[in-house]
Amino acid sequence: MHTSLVASARNAIPLHAVTANAAKAWLAKQERGALASAAGFTGAPGQLAALPDAKGGIAQWVLGLGETTDIFALAAAAEKLPAGTYALGAVPDFCGGANAALAWLLGGYVFDRYKKKPRAAVKLVTPPGVDAGEITRVAGNIFLARDLVNTPANDMGPAELEAAARALAKQHGAKISVVSGAALAKGYPLIAAVGQGSVRSPRLIEIVWGKGPLVTLVGKGVCFDSGGYDIKPSAAMLTMKKDMGGAACVLAVAGMVMGAKLKLRLRVLIPAVENSVSGNAMRPGDIFPSRKGLTVEIGNTDAEGRLILADALSDADDEQPELLIDVATLTGAARVATGMELPPFFTDDETLAADLMRHGTAQQDPLWRLPLWRGYEDTINSRIADLNNNPAYGYGGAITAALFLNRFVTKTKAWAHLDIPAWTDRPKPGRPLGGEANAARALYAMLKEHYGR
């Protein structure tokens, strides 16, 4: 159980939550509720008010929700309340129970590796019927992903990403192997090509765990993306430490799956590279073979994510898993299409698409399906190679990137590609500015439904 959750507490202070519409009526029913009204409590989002007892102490707290239906609204209380132990009182159904417990833990997250940010020691009595171990497992792995994404590239290169994967594998008794050097160049030539411009050697990280139907997760691990010779503008590079967010996300899902001991064989593949500029870096116009045997012309060195995913997906596809999902911070076009809060996904499997949408909605970890529009297939062809990584089309960039990846998945029936931001740009309760494990909870919920005990 997380240290911010307790099983019980005799003197826990009740914590209530009310919408703006219900605030006036709720206060009218409370002893000394008029004092909170007089102090200006209206139930506005994130507004907190203390209701005193007869001796001048605090009898209870109330949090304003505004008109939100955000299941994590209670995180605002964890972020703002003074030190103490609290017990959930009257709250709307949407932010009670397990949602309240998870929101409480998310509200306590802070990235303080480089700058200490003290937080009040607040604890919540675990609501009745809530599995504190499950909530702790989910939150802990979200924190893992956030920490990995938030860590700057000088401390989070391919080797450090490998170390994080090794620590997770050791924690759960999983097998881990890493391919690098000459073996990488021979077996995964596109991964090697993207990483060859950096002094930090590229690698393919593999974790294998469990028994049962094979589920494979592939996560893009570009630890920093300069754009290569097609270099990014300086403003676009400022958040490129997050370009390994796909890898962070699949590690989070893997941690949840292994911790819950789901009945499946889990395989995680992370191509980890740094896309740098040097005399050894790949150039526009270069042509490389892929693991699958298809040749790829480099039309743009900044379209590197699809290259490393291609080799990893080809490897994954050879085993024909029951389910294959890749997660990547792949295209700016995805952000233009759906923004930072609604990551798109692509699949031709109708059942898988429905599952992803349903669980994303239920977990408030939303996803939105975009089409694998075959009419754009010819845009990724090359005149002198099998494929070009820079589509000859100025629109639909997220779609053409997904079509490129799909060329490397020819045997597996159930495949989905998620194009996530791995970043929160508009802070909300429990979701601070910075790294985020978009879709991790939705994916875990889906896997738990299919492979749970």
Plot region of 82 (φ>0 → left; ψ -120 to 50 → alpha; else → beta): beta
pLDDT (tens digit per residue) in 270-291? 999 999 999 999 999 999 999 9
- Whether 306 is catalytic is yes
Q: What is the CATH number of the domain that holds 430?
A: 3.40.630.10
Catalytic option among 24, 232, 428, 448: 232
Domain that holds residue 304: 136-451
How many Å apart are CA 382 and CA 379, to the nearest integer?
A: 8
Identify the CA nearest to 72 among candidates 84, 81, 63: 63
Please state the rounded mean pLDDT for residues 18-27.
Answer: 93
Last residue of a domain, one of 79, 100, 127: 127
My answer on whether 289 and 344 are in the same domain is yes
In single-letter form, the type of residue at position 354 comes to A
pTM for this model (two decimals): 0.96
- Where does the pLDDT of residue 348 fall: very low under 50, low under 70, confident under 90, or very high at 90 and above? very high
Q: Other C-beta atoms within 10 Å of 340: how many?
A: 16
pLDDT at residue 140 in the model: 98
User: Does 100 share its domain with 18?
Assistant: yes
Give strand ranges (E) for 108-182. Answer: 122-125, 175-180
**Whether residues 103 and 159 fall in one domain:** no
Report the distance separating Cα 214 and Cα 171, nearest Å: 21
In this prediction, residues 111-137 reach a mean pLDDT of 94
Instruction: Collapse the DSSP code of 406 into the 3-class scheme (helix H, G, I; strand E, B; otherwise coil) and give the result.
Output: helix
Same domain, 257 and 237: yes
> Is the same domain home to 153 and 85?
no
Place of tokens 């295209």: 331
Question: Do residues 346 and 203 share a domain?
Answer: yes
User: pLDDT value at position 246?
Assistant: 98
Give the mean model confidence (pLDDT) for residues 159-187.
Answer: 98
Regarding whether 174 and 157 lie in a shared domain, the answer is yes
My answer on whether 151 and 228 are in the same domain is: yes
81 and 192 belong to one structural domain = no
Same domain, 439 and 317: yes
| Domain limit, last residue, from 81, 101, 127 | 127
* Calpha distance 34→28 (Å, rounded): 7
What the block records as the tokens of 37 is 């009204």
Positive or negative torsion for Cα 378, 382, 386, 388: negative
**306, 335, 431, 441: which one is catalytic?**
306
What CATH number is associated with residue 58? 3.40.220.10
Give the model's pLDDT for residue 184: 98
Distance in angstroms (rounded) separating the CA atoms of residues 177 and 127: 41
The reply to whether 374 belongs to the active site is no
Q: How many domains does the chain have?
A: 2
Question: Does one domain contain both 159 and 298?
Answer: yes
Average pLDDT (143-160) is 98
Answer yes or no: do 158 and 296 share one domain.
yes
Which of 99, 127, 155 is the endpoint of a domain? 127
pLDDT band at 343 (very low <50, low <70, confident <90, very high): very high
pLDDT tier for residue 450 given thresholds of 50, 70 and 90: very high
For 231-278, the pLDDT digits (tens) are: 999 999 999 999 999 999 999 999 999 999 999 999 999 999 999 999
